[in-house]
Amino acid sequence: MKKSLAAALLFAVFFLLPSAARAGVGRTAPSGTVVFALREQSAGEKGTLSARSLLAGAGIFSSGIQRLERTGVYLADGGSDPEAAAGKLAELEGVAWAEPSLPLTWFDAPEDEHYWIQWSLSNTASPYAIEELTWLSGFAPVNLTAGADVDAQQAWTVTRGDPSVVVAVMDTGIGPYIHDLDGNLWVNGGEIPGNDIDDDGNGFIDDVNGWNALDGNGNISDQGEHGSHCAGIIAARQDEYGISGIAPDVRIMALVGFETAHVLANTEYLLAQKARGVNVRAVNMSFGTGIPYSRAIEEALAKLEEGGVLVFAAAGNFATDNDFASFSYPSSLPFGNIVSVGSTGGTDEPSNFSQWGRRTVDIHAPGEAILSTIPSKYVQFGYSSRIDGTWNTWTLKSGTSMSTPLTLGAAALLFSAHPEADWRAVKAQLLSAADRLPSLEGLSRTGGRLNAGRALTEPLRTRPALFRLSSQYPLPGEQVRLSGYNLTEGGALSLVSRDGRKITLPETGRTSGEAVVILPPGELPDARVTLEIGGDGQDSLTSLPFLLTHPGEASPADIVFLSEGGRDFHAVPVSGQAAVAGEYVYGTAGFEELNEYGNLVRSYRPAVFSLRDRTLRKAPLGEEGEEWARTDLDFRYTSYCSLGRTVFLAGQSTGGWVYAYDTGEGVLRRLTRLPEELRESNLGSPATAVGGKYFYLAGGFILGQSLDLSDRTIDSVYRLDLETLEWRRWGTLSEKRFAAAAAIEDGKLFVAGGKHYELFTVGTSSSTVEIPTSSVNVFSLENGSRQDAVLPFSTWKGTLAIDREREAVLFFGGLVYFGDLSMASPLAAWTSPDGRGSEWELASPRFPFISGDGGWAFSTGGTHHLLSRGWGDQYDRGYQLFSLPSPESSPAGCTSGVSPWGALLLVPLALLLKKQ
């Protein structure tokens, strides 16, 4: 299914329209808490004293240190700079890991899309419903398809839930008083409300309906509206007022929190109550953390799996593939008790905002225009009614935040109907009963939408089911834990490659719920493989797709420096293909510096990175070059490629110039102007490559004020003769694009990835949307003919180079979307050197942690690099040089070596530049 256009259009709704239209998507401000764990835990008071001494050793004097007994993690006040405090702690020998408490992002969608109440439970597509939805949505067209629902009425023929079943909602809170939830909140019978005493001796004061980790008390009042909305979807009671939850007779435990530290503290509370006999079966987590990766979230989820609690996690609203950009946590964590939920609309199509993933998303459920309860003080547009003297309100929300509690509610019904069933049985039943739909094929493990009616009325599944592996990116030869259900009832576990080869895996132990297997050594032609049990292929739960990777290298790169009298103190590589000349790499960096008024400003200009000592500094430009840098060039949109010691720069010149930089002399010179039709265009971010006697320029965006939006991206390929400096329009791309990667290899010009503009209008607001592409164009340098191919992921920028070891052309270091962030990623893909394949394979190199904030992608000496910021299991790892080693040298291209043609050209080119 093609989702790139829809994904990017909804990206505009989420992130390019005014912030008021995105209420509920943003993050809360962090509290200053530091979360950390010791390498060797000590029990009780001794452990707390040890932790306190470590804090003091890091220069942190906190009186409010707290140890969470069940997770073994400490919380402490990190002061005004918790990030720095966590960094100091992480360096201490006795600390296993440390990170600041990170804010949570609530996954509900913009509120300017309105559909009608509770079609998710029973969708008849009646004309009246469509008319009502059209009115509520401001007369925008609304579509419903009968039967595109979870069939709640059939489920209710079995049960509406049992009051003994408790499910937790870890969110912004619930209430105060909401009629639909009155009587359906879990009550701690041993606690007397409001007396400020821990009556039941459980260590928590006045925890009548749950716990507030933010304030450290039992006040569960909603500090937003998100939590109340999720709770209503699950358990709004059935009466003559308001709405009905999918499980209207179960009980809700409220857990309030806004940061990763709160998730840990609330997990501690939930497990404590479960240990005291409270029948807590599942918890709803309609939020995510994204980057940086949170070890605190990982610890919490691990303990919930150990405690037998099923976790329902929102897949996310950023319209990305979680398999290739797994920045959505907790939904993408490798624990079997997680059910990751995507969203569908009223016609069973996937929601445009919903994230997906054949490996990392389990199931979809209705998540658009879901009507539910909110505290009356937050109502902006919806329904209001005075019940027993108190105003109650209901409003529509959309997002995977809404589809997730709907799925949890179906699980609550299963726990009610089958009280003896554990979380494994309930998860297997939910997934196996999903309605498989063509519209969802390949978007989740099941390729289906929740069907609560079938889940409740069919017998519990007995066939084995595979859930998740203990490693997100397993390595060849690695021993991994497989989580699943009834695994002892299945046959051998086998690994199946994309070409159909099957390998029986050795095991070191298997129980009903887990198996430990050893993956085969060696590198496969494609990283995408499938784990099968029994080999019967009867349903999607007996097979588990994943990526079998091998480790790349990542080592620190020092880019913090002092220069020019100490005024410049930091530099950030700007994403894109960089150029290699000898032992140095050239690209654009953002330099933070103090101006003459003492204010911090950022300027963008060429920088040089030393491969030998791994430091980055400003590139000297010469007197004229400095003037051009101030008056003619915007280096954020400049592309780089090299031939010998000359680096070519093209893009975003107000005068329409192409520049050549002499790396030996450190001088920037003007080479020639762009083709005449582009000289007044302010062309930005073209793809460039040089090979032999020719310089190639493909695509780009233009800023001419008289130009229409549809004309802002070009699809032309131009060739410049470096001897005569004459331009020729040489070819046409398959689609308009800018910020693509380009390289010349084996007599061919490769242009891969990139993005283009579209205009998207919502109501009276219009936004320009940047839509990434996965297309690859391969041009013959001999006759200009073009062949087309497809990358396994949509991306832009990055680098292309030949990989002699793998006998393939490799794409590496491109960017992917994650919400409003553009993430540089070590994702890699390859194809045969002739570029004839209709689809590129997914290369297996991966790294022990992800990267972000953009960076330079380049190849040298047969090794492929990404210079980027790294995020890992110990928070910010600083700038890293990600590398894919290959023993053989690369031939000529945009960033590697000199071809025979190039060697003949170097001397006349140098003379020409001096003459220019």
Please spell the DSSP secondary structure of 497-526, one letter per residue: ETTS-EEEPPEEEE-SSEEEEEPPPS--SS
Q: Which of these, 912, 862, 854, 907, lies nearest to 879 by C-alpha position?
A: 854
Beta strand 850-860 with 828-831 is unpaired
Peptide bond into 330 cis (omega under 30): yes
Q: Which of these, 459, 461, 518, 509, lies nearest to 488 by C-alpha position?
A: 509
- Amino acid at position 688, single letter: T
> What long-range pairs does 461-464 form, CB within 8 A, spacing at least 24?
461/425, 461/428, 461/429, 461/432, 461/485, 461/486, 462/486, 462/489, 463/432, 463/489, 463/490, 463/538, 463/539, 463/541, 463/542, 464/489, 464/490, 464/533, 464/534, 464/541, 464/542
H-run or E-run covering 120: none
- Confirm if 738 and 768 have CB atoms less than 8 A apart: no
- Confirm if 494 and 504 have CB atoms less than 8 A apart: yes
432-491 pLDDT, tens digit per residue, is 999 999 999 989 999 999 999 999 999 999 999 999 999 877 878 889 999 999 999 988
Q: What are phi and psi of 652, to 5 degrees?
A: 60, 45
Contacts of 773 (CB under 8 A, 6+ apart): 4, 735, 737, 753, 754, 755, 756, 794, 796
SS3 assignment, position 863: strand
DSSP state of 674: P
Q: What are phi and psi of 628, to 5 degrees?
A: -65, -35
- Confirm if 252 and 231 have CB atoms less than 8 A apart: yes
Q: Which of these, 323, 341, 346, lies nearest to 404 by C-alpha position?
A: 341
How far is the C-alpha of 844 from the C-alpha of 630, rounded, in Å? 43
Residue with token string 């906190």: 62
Q: What are phi and psi of 407, to 5 degrees?
A: -70, -40
Q: What pLDDT shows up at residue 93?
A: 84
- Confirm if 36 and 86 have CB atoms less than 8 A apart: yes
How far is the C-alpha of 325 from the C-alpha of 337, rounded, in Å? 21
- Confirm if 97 and 90 have CB atoms less than 8 A apart: yes
Give me the DSSP letters along 585-634: EEEEEEEEEE-TTS-EEEEEEEEEEETTT-BEEEPP-HHHHHHHHHHTB-
SS3 string, 324-374, reads: CCCCCCCCCCCCCCEEEEEEECCCCCECCCCCECCCCCCEEEECCCEEEEE
How far is the C-alpha of 126 from the C-alpha of 118, rounded, in Å? 13
Q: What pLDDT shows up at residue 552?
A: 65
Residue with token string 């609530």: 106
Contacts of 430 (CB under 8 A, 6+ apart): 339, 363, 407, 410, 411, 414, 450, 455
- Confirm if 647 and 640 have CB atoms less than 8 A apart: yes
Contacts of 115 (CB under 8 A, 6+ apart): 133, 136, 137, 142, 345, 346, 368, 369, 396, 398
How far is the C-alpha of 313 from the C-alpha of 401, rounded, in Å? 8
- Amino acid at position 818, single letter: F
SS3 assignment, position 551: strand
- Tell whether the torsion through CA atoms of 366, 372, 377 and 382 is positive or negative: positive
Angle 226-235/400-417 helices, nearest 10 degrees? 40
- Taking CA atoms, 16 is separated from 575, 760, 767, 768, in Å, by 20, 10, 6, 8
Q: What pLDDT shows up at residue 118?
A: 77
Q: What pLDDT shows up at residue 295?
A: 83
> What long-range pairs does 760-764 form, CB within 8 A, spacing at least 24?
760/9, 760/12, 760/13, 760/16, 762/12, 762/13, 762/17, 762/21, 762/112, 763/112, 763/138
Residue with token string 């654009």: 588
Strand partners, 74: 36, 67
Q: Which of these, 775, 729, 777, 730, lies nearest to 750 by C-alpha position?
A: 777
- Confirm if 340 and 476 have CB atoms less than 8 A apart: no
Per run of 10 residues, the mean pLDDT along the chain (length 916 residues) is 37 28 37 85 58 78 81 88 86 88 65 49 75 61 82 93 98 93 94 92 94 95 94 92 92 95 96 96 91 81 96 88 74 94 94 88 93 82 83 88 97 98 98 96 94 97 94 83 94 88 90 93 76 79 84 64 54 81 91 72 87 84 95 93 94 94 96 92 92 94 57 89 96 94 89 80 54 88 91 80 68 60 54 56 58 69 74 56 55 34 37 46
Q: What pLDDT shows up at residue 12?
A: 32
135-192 pLDDT, tens digit per residue, is 655 555 667 788 989 999 899 999 999 999 999 999 999 999 999 999 999 999 999 9
DSSP state of 725: T
- Taking CA atoms, 799 is separated from 20, 526, 552, 688, in Å, by 38, 19, 16, 11
For residue 663, give both structure tokens.
């790396």
- Confirm if 645 and 664 have CB atoms less than 8 A apart: yes
Q: What are phi and psi of 18, to 5 degrees?
A: -55, 150
Peptide bond into 292 cis (omega under 30): yes
- Alpha carbon dihedral 456, 468, 4, 688, in 10-degree steps, equals 180
- Taking CA atoms, 733 is separated from 582, 704, 730, 786, in Å, by 31, 21, 10, 8
SS3 string, 188-209, reads: CCCCCCCCCCCCCCCCCCCCCC
- Amino acid at position 142, single letter: V
How far is the C-alpha of 469 from the C-alpha of 517, rounded, in Å? 10
